[in-house]
Structure 1
């Protein structure tokens, strides 16, 4: 799952249009990533100009 480093994020929104399941949204001035929708494709990570996005491994419940 993608996670946001808010200290690095410039809020440019480059990650939003490349996300196939549209799981990245802006709420209360912070980017939110819907864990249940994120497929882990890394497209957002690759397009981020400030390297503010990284991937975290999901832990099975």
Structure 2
């Protein structure tokens, strides 16, 4: 879907990343995509993704 919509290119072209230091562990485009896809999946925010990351079922 990213390739078809050009989401990565749009993010990199139009959004500046003001973060510095350790706050840049993950690229802004990845964080933005996670937020968009989480909302499309019906989650209210990315806290749900964080909880799922700790679930043993998803660590297999």
TM-score range, shorter chain: under 0.3
The structure whose residues are more often helix, as a share, is: 2
Higher normalized strand content (fraction of residues): 1
Larger radius of gyration: 2
* TM superposition score normalised by structure 1: 0.25
Q: TM-score, normalised by structure 2?
A: 0.26
